[in-house]
Amino acid sequence: MIEASELSRRYGSSEFDLASLIGTAERILAERGLAIPDGRAADRPDPRLLRYYQGIGIVSRPLRYERRQAVYGFRHLLEILAAKTLQARGLTLAQIQRALIGKPARALLAILEGAGASAPPAARPAEAGDRWIRIALPGGGIAFIPEGAPSSMDPQEAGRALAEALDRRKRDVLER
C-alpha cells in the first residue's frame, strides 16, 4: 500500500492529463484497498465524477490548459484521494466539501494518513411528513431547516455555511 508520505515523494511534482490523473487515482485507491461500504457512491473516480467534483468545489480547477487539454497536478490527485477516503468513512458530499475546500496539501495528506475529517454522528434522514421552517432570503432565495433542528445550532456558523453555498452557486453561474 502506498503511504501518504510516499505519494508526495512519488507524485509531488507530477502533472497529469485527465486520463492519467484518473488512472493514477484508481491505481492508488485500489492499492489502498479503499471501498465505499454502503454502495452509495462509486469506489473509483472517472472523468465525469472529476468534472462533478470540480463543479462543487471538491477538486480545484486545472492548473492550466494546453491545446484545449486540462493539465492537473499533485493537489488534484490528493483532492480526489481525500474525497474518496472521506466517502469511505461515511461522510456526505456536503461534509466532504467543508472538509476539503481551501485546505492545504498537508491537511489532505493527513486525511489520507487517517487523521482529520471523521464522520459526525449520523443525522436522521428527512422523511415524508417532516415539518420545515421556510426562511426567505434576500434576492428571492429560500432556505429550509427542519423544525426539529437542534437549538444548539450556531446561527453564525449556519450563516457562514449558507454564504459559502451561495458564493459557490454564484461562481458556478458566472463560469457558465
Does the structure show a pLDDT above 90 at 16? yes
Dump the DSSP string for 78-114: HHHHHHHHHHHTT--HHHHHHHHTT--HHHHHHHHHT
Q: How confident is the model at residue 38 (pLDDT cuts 50, 70, 90)?
A: low
**Main-chain dihedrals φ then ψ at residue 97, nearest 5 degrees:** -55, -50
* Integer Cα distance of 58 and 50 in angstroms: 9
Q: Which pLDDT tens digit goes with each residue over 125-168?
A: 555 556 777 777 777 777 777 666 666 667 777 777 777 777 77
What is the pLDDT at residue 70? 93
Q: Supply φ then ψ for residue 15, to 5 degrees.
A: -125, 145
pLDDT at 31 over 60: yes
* pLDDT the model gives residue 7: 83
- The residues near 111 (Cβ < 8 Å, ≥ 6 apart) are 82, 85, 86, 99, 100, 117
> Are 106 and 4 contacting, i.e. CB atoms less than 8 angstroms apart?
no
* pLDDT for residue 120: 45
Ranges of each domain in the chain = 4-113, 132-175
Read off the pLDDT of residues 82-131 as tens digits, 9 standing for 90 and up.
Answer: 999 998 888 888 899 988 988 888 899 989 888 554 444 444 455 555 67
